[in-house]
Amino acid sequence: MNAIDPRIHQALDGELAPATLSGELRQAVERLVTAAALLATPIPAASLESRVMVLIRRPAPSRARRLLRWFVAPHAVTFRVRPVWSLAFAAVVALLTLFPMRREGPDIGEHEGIAQFVGRFPGAQSVHAVGSFNDWRPGSIALEDVDQDGVWRATVVLPAGAYEYMFVVDGERWVPDRLAERLVADEFGRENSIVIVRPARR
């Protein structure tokens, strides 16, 4: 590798005006500037936004959680243990299944009710309900497709009343809830759905 005239470096570092250079040196500067410009062409690619947002919405499981999941899931394991240890193992498994990880349903207050959100979005990676019940925060109410059949659901406790909302699919597509049968203009060129939450007690 040959060292080049230091003035080329100076020109490229902005310490020397290229116009002051002789023909050959100026050509070298231009070659490198052109090469950089060519490399600066943007890479044609789809936006990474939805891919990234789906990944960050998945909670990173804590080590304890992961360990627990392994423990509770069925495993085909044969191992020789001393009888006393196998009893201890059985006791721990029994304990874990007696106290399911999923918490029981909430106490519903007098002026609260339940809203059930359902939508068909086959192929979706995530679906959220976003509206005036959660200050239009896109992440806070996630629907789930438990059966992997493309039907996403969420059941939410909310104060009784009427709310506007939309579904956000894959973090970027805003769609009204077609099943809701109540639509209203959002003043932004689209339509929101309306859900009316009735008090559960009455």
CA 21 distance to own-chain centroid: 54
Q: Which stretch binds other proteins (CB under 8 A): 66-74, 83-91, 119-127, 187-195?
A: 187-195
109 or 150: whose CB is closer to other proteins? 109
Among 48, 64, 77, 95, binds other proteins (CB under 8 A): 48
Least Å distance, CB 29 to other proteins, is: 10
Rule CB under 8 A: say whether 101 interacts with other proteins: no
Rule CB under 8 A: say whether 171 interacts with other proteins: yes
Q: Alpha-carbon distance 158 to 114, whole Å? A: 6
Rule CB under 8 A: say whether 3 interacts with other proteins: yes
Q: In 3-state terms, what secondary structure has residue 102?
A: coil
Rule CB under 8 A: say whether 53 interacts with other proteins: yes
Q: Alpha-carbon distance 102 to 108, whole Å? A: 18
Which residue is listed with tokens 């077609």?
Answer: 178
Least Å distance, CB 91 to other proteins, is: 28
Nearest to 75 by CA among 91, 100, 63, 93: 93
DSSP per position, 12-39:
HTTSS-GGGS-HHHHHHHHHHHHHHHHH
Per-residue x/- track, 131-150, other proteins (CB under 8 A)? -xxxxxxxxxx---------
39 or 95: whose CB is closer to other proteins? 39
Q: In 3-state terms, what secondary structure has residue 149?
A: coil
